Amino acid sequence: MNLSRVLLFILCIATAQAQSLINLIPQPVSVQPQPGVFTLTRATTIHYNQADAKEVADMLSQRLNTPTGFGLAAKPGKTGKIQLNLSETPNAQLGQEGYMLDASSKGVVITANRPAGLFYGMQTLTQLLPKEIEGKVVAAKTWSVPAVKITDYPRFGWRGIMFDVSRHFFTKVEVKQYIDQLAKLKYNTFHWHLTDDNGWRIEIKSLPKLTSVGAWRVARAGHYGDRAEPKPGEPTPYGGFYTQDDIREVIAYAQARNVTIVPEIDVPGHSMAALAAYPELSCTKAIVSVNPGTAFSDWYGNGTFKMKVENTLNPSDEKVYEFLDKVFTEVAALFPNPYIHVGGDECYKGYWANDPGCQALMKQLNIRHVEDLQGYFMNRVEKILTAKGKKLLGWDEILEGGISPTATVMSWRGIKGGIEAAKEGHNVVMTPTTFAYLDYNQGDPTVDPPIYAFLRARTSYGYEPVPDGVDAKYILGGQGNLWTEQIPTLRYAEYMTYPRAWALSEVYWSPKEAKNWPNFVQRMETHFERADMAQVNYSRAIYDAIVKTSMKDGKLRLELEGEIPGLDIYYTIDDTMPDQFSTRYSQPVDLPDGPINLRVITYRAGKPIGHLITLSRDALQKRIGRF
């Protein structure tokens, strides 16, 4: 009797330890921990029941072999210790991307209707294995999977990340690495921002100057907006582009990971790289350069702006539509997905207003406002795309001037455009700056390089893509956007992407009711360790104090908070370095007058964990109402 109790006690401990290893992102629909574990060995077999499952099974064996060194090979069959099954009779609950995973001491069975579901089940299985599974070298480890039953399927069909390769060029190898990490998080859409003012990145064989000229710019360092103008005759060594063979290679790589690539050709604005190659397509016909990050526009703080240099195609020139037909003919032939993103954002119309051709077109169309020319332009573009079997997708500015009912809208300027589009019957992808812009500062600007806007991981996690009063059937899903004005390397792209893309993956995949920030933080921290093993970069800004100030009865008031639970915040204002014996923050503090310096640091469980933040009184004054 005593022996049986001991054995039961040991089993309970082992089961509890196994359950503590279930830290999945995104959170599945249903997770039911079971007693026991399954241990992967050299003798483990991987089988698949149908030929369509072979590619996923092969990918799984490759994924397991690198860190384990086991040399496992996937084979057809139905008795594998790891068994991948495509259902003979589809399970309606799972849909196209869902799966069931049943892990016990006997083995692991993943079942799905489609290979995409098996692929996502594979991602969950690898997250159940020890963190060393993410490593690039063989590790001496017990490769155990906690026993668990999981049923899982996505909330939204569109789960995307936009990657801007115009401001900074990233090689095809880097793009594939980035896609690979997104696929592990069950993202299924890669929005590839290929053209802008700062570089044209896709080969168009019928228009060779787009890449021989438009893909290259002068070398400049420093912050975007503060860089010097190109000099006459200055070399243009910085840039690059993808050949059509490169594009096909990346598409095939993404398809194997169930990721659809949506290309963006940004028109009619953001076209300076195209105009550098073909200046005759503008209103003024002026010679322009591919922009290296100069201050080529004035913004007025209310969403309006003025361009100092023309970067807009001429909507009244038929040669523009002949140009676009050539571009989209080649783009449509390369990309198998139904959508082509045509931009449509931040189109300055001042040059149109002063152009005789545009004025004549407005008279011909009987329109009074120059803004309505964008609607005319977009309808022309949509006809070009429709003729090639593609659907038009654009930023929410395409609503200005009117669009056809079949156009799809990406709502980025908050959620207003998405609400308006959905109520008009358009399909919508929600990607508002307020929740989804991954280029925004995620920590204190005294720690991270300063950027003009802020977005905490906690805020991203709190996003709800279906606005109140909107029919959910029009909301395809959402995505995060990574613009790269201040992102020169893949390593830094990762830093800005994670952990916020982990948070958004759960917003777009997991049930709305399952969201729980403290629970997510626990899982996120285990993924920090996994990212370390994978040599993927990420931000630790969640451990830093959030420093806010306000004025109260003529006094400068200090408010401190932590982004995650369990942080102790210590501060000093006497020019000493804070530690756990300094003043612990518990409530708002009225700061004394005079030239003080605030120093703040966070601790957890008696050990420092966040960055030291130091702010002068002047800096604190400038923060009033901002953070």
Residue numbers annotated as active site: 346
The residue with tokens 């800096």 is 619
- The Cα-based distances of 74 to 87, 133, 256, 312, 417 in angstroms read 18, 18, 16, 53, 48
Is residue 270 within 8 A of residue 311, CB to CB? The reply is: yes
Angle between the 500-509 and 490-497 helix axes, to the nearest 10 degrees?
50
Q: How far is CA 540 from the centre of its chain?
A: 17
What's the rounded Cα separation, in Å, for the pair 410 and 408? 7
Contact 166, 273 (CB under 8 A): yes
Give, in order, the Cα–Cα distances in Å from 341 to each of 332, 407, 466, 569. 11, 10, 22, 46
Packed helices 244-256 and 172-184: angle between N→C axes, nearest 10 degrees = 20
For residue 510, give Cα distances in angstroms to 26, 466, 506.
6, 14, 5
Sign of CA dihedral 39, 27, 30, 90: negative
Whole-angstrom CA distances from 37 to 5, 285, 467, 523 are 20, 70, 42, 20
- Residue found under tokens 């490759």: 62
d(CA 61, CA 59): 6
Beta strand segments in 240-332, E: 260-267, 297-299, 305-307
C-alpha distances (whole Å) from 62 to each of 54, 67, 170, 601, 621 are 12, 10, 26, 43, 55
Angle at 279 between CA 277 and CA 281, to 5 degrees: 110
Cα distances (angstroms) measured from residue 44 to each of 61, 72, 79: 10, 7, 11
Strand 195-196 with 189-193, pairing: unpaired
Residue carrying the six token digits 């098996």: 118
Coil, helix or strand at residue 185: coil
Contacts of 32 (CB under 8 A, 6+ apart): 148, 149, 150
- Residue 498 identity (one-letter amino acid): Y
Strands 597-604 and 613-616: antiparallel
Is the Cβ–Cβ distance between 589 and 558 less than 8 Å?
Answer: yes
Q: 225: part of which helix (H) or strand (E)?
A: none
Cis upstream peptide for 465 (omega within 30°): no
Residue 421 contacts residue 409 (beta carbons within 8 Å): yes
Half-sphere exposure of 191 (CA within 13 A, CB side): 26
Give bridge partners of residue 39 from the DSSP assignment. 144
β-strands 597-604, 568-572: how paired?
antiparallel
Token digits of residue 236: 């243009």
